[in-house]
Amino acid sequence: MEEDYLIRALAKETGVRALICVTTQTAREGAQRHGAAATPAAALGRALTAGALMGALLKIQQRVALKFEGNGPLRKLVVESNSYGKVRGYVLEPTADVPLRRDEPDVAQALGAAGLLTVVKDLRLKELAESVVPLATSDIAGDLEAYLVQSEQVPSLVQIGVRLNPAGEIAAAGGLLLQSMPPHEADSLTPFREQLQELPPIDNMLLTGQRPESILQEIFGSTPYTILEKRPLIFRCACSWERGEKALVSLGRAELAELLEEEGEAVVECHFCHEQYIYDQAALTALLQRLAS
């Protein structure tokens, strides 16, 4: 199976930049790690794809987090990504499935109409940059597009799709982001928006074997453009045994000693990737000794 990746292209004369990605493996890994049912898996796959697109807009060493909170059964989707194509994320209620709608996962229903999208950027400055906007469509793509247009004030067009197979597993996932670059106006996106309406959804195109390069070619048609970059994307978490230890240390000595005495072990579970780190008696004793010295 081919690895996930993202391409970045620029149509200089038209003033439009394009990011197109395939995220099938990333979405699959997210769904597997969290044991997600069909619709939560599709929702998480879409959110991870949104994270991958936002990560590609960052400069080196920067990070971005997207938090989609709604009043539907999924309650919350959180994804983080960085400038190196590493994405991680979780859905708060991975087993809260909702029925398919016309054979499609109904992500908007599952996330719920009323809610917020919070975007937090770590731009390596003193403060994190945070913006909060109401959920526009609750389908992830529409929410990301509304955020980019309203909050970042960049004319943008977002499409994200996750296709499930009959068993409810992820068959294909991907997304695209077109942005109009200053001084070009929002209407420079109009021909591409119209062209996209003529094409099948991106997940369908990926499912039939198209790659980001050929999808880009179909969208841009006769418009001249240059592919500037192709970068790998991967579901990758920053958690580790050492970070788990830090979390335990932050409980304080008394609580740690109590854990050792009553449970004989401690389990630290990562929200983002569902990895479990188990600290047995010897590991906890060593941690307590380190705290004492």
Provide the binding-site residues for Zn ion, judged by CB under 5 A: 237, 239, 270, 272-273, 275
Nearer to Zn ion, 177 or 270 (CB): 270
For the CA atoms of the chain, what is the radius of gyration? 21
Rounded to the nearest whole angstrom, what is the least distance from the CB of residue 30 to Zn ion in the complex? 12
Phi, psi of 214, rounded to the nearest 5 degrees:
-75, -30
Rounded to the nearest whole angstrom, what is the least distance from the CB of residue 242 to Zn ion in the complex? 12
Rounded to the nearest whole angstrom, what is the least distance from the CB of residue 274 to Zn ion in the complex? 7
Rounded to the nearest whole angstrom, what is the least distance from the CB of residue 48 to Zn ion in the complex? 14
Q: Residues 6 or more apart from 180 whose CB is under 8 A from it?
A: 15, 16, 154, 155, 156, 186, 188, 189
Rounded to the nearest whole angstrom, what is the least distance from the CB of residue 63 to Zn ion in the complex? 15
Nearer to Zn ion, 220 or 272 (CB): 272
Rounded to the nearest whole angstrom, what is the least distance from the CB of residue 230 to Zn ion in the complex? 27
Nearer to Zn ion, 87 or 270 (CB): 270
Cis, bond preceding 183 (omega within 30 deg of 0) = yes
Nearer to Zn ion, 184 or 271 (CB): 271
Rounded to the nearest whole angstrom, what is the least distance from the CB of residue 270 to Zn ion in the complex? 3
Buried residues in 38-65 as b, exposed as e (16+ CB within 10 A): bbbbbbbbbbbbbbbbbbbbbeeebbbb
Reduce the secondary structure of 23-80 to three states and give it as a string. Answer: CHHHHHHHHHHHCCCHHHHHHHHHHHHHHHHHHCCCCCCCEEEEEEEECCCCCEEEEE
Nearer to Zn ion, 30 or 174 (CB): 30
Cα angle 36-148-105, degrees, rounded to a multiple of 5: 25
Residue of 37, 113, 39 lying closest to 72 (CA atoms) = 113
In angstroms, the CA 138 to CA 33 distance is: 23
**Contact by Cβ (8 Å): 12, 71:** no
Q: Residues 6 or more apart from 43 whose CB is under 8 A from it?
A: 74, 77, 91, 105, 107, 110, 111, 140
Rounded to the nearest whole angstrom, what is the least distance from the CB of residue 46 to Zn ion in the complex? 20
Nearer to Zn ion, 52 or 189 (CB): 52
Nearer to Zn ion, 192 or 272 (CB): 272
Nearer to Zn ion, 44 or 273 (CB): 273
**Contact by Cβ (8 Å): 135, 119:** no
